[in-house]
Amino acid sequence: MEHFTPISSLIGGGLIGLSAVMLMLLSGRIAGISGITSGLLSFTWTPDSAWRLAFVVGLIGAPVGLAIAGVKPEISFVTSLPIMAIAGLIVGFGTVLGGGCTSGHGVCGIARLSPRSIIATVVFMTFGVATVFIVRHLLAGG
């Protein structure tokens, strides 16, 4: 556990929860990132577009602002950019197929005790663990 960061993880989780609660209280919307982003991809301005755009800009702007301020965590990738792009497309397809993503189902749905979200979260976490096990232990040669 060389990267164990309980304090920053707790703060980050708290901020995610706070943003989800604020979005629900102020607009009655669920903070599902895939749904928020897909609502912008129609490229037509709707009454929902402003808050969706603000949410996505905040997601992107926060780390960019930290980088500009000189706070740059060490990030390393163990795979190529094309493989990561393919993986991202598969995850995107999975969020459409599952009717939501980890933020929508895992954070907001479980907090609302939604059976659909609890099942979805169990399924994608199980397959995530299985994928890591297969890639790191079976395909990597041990």
For the stretch 99-140, pLDDT in tens is 888 888 888 888 889 999 999 899 989 988 998 898 888 887
Q: Are 31 and 19 in contact (CB under 8 A)?
A: yes
User: Could you state, in order of their start, the residue ranges of all structural domains in the chain?
Assistant: 6-138
Residue 109: helix, strand or coil by DSSP?
A: helix
Residue 2 has a pLDDT of 66
86-108 burial, b at 16+ Cβ within 10 Å, e below that, comes to: eeeeeeeeebeebebbbbbbbbb
Residue 96 has a pLDDT of 78
Residue 5 has a pLDDT of 83
pTM of the model: 0.70
Low-confidence ranges of the chain (pLDDT < 70): 1-2, 141-142
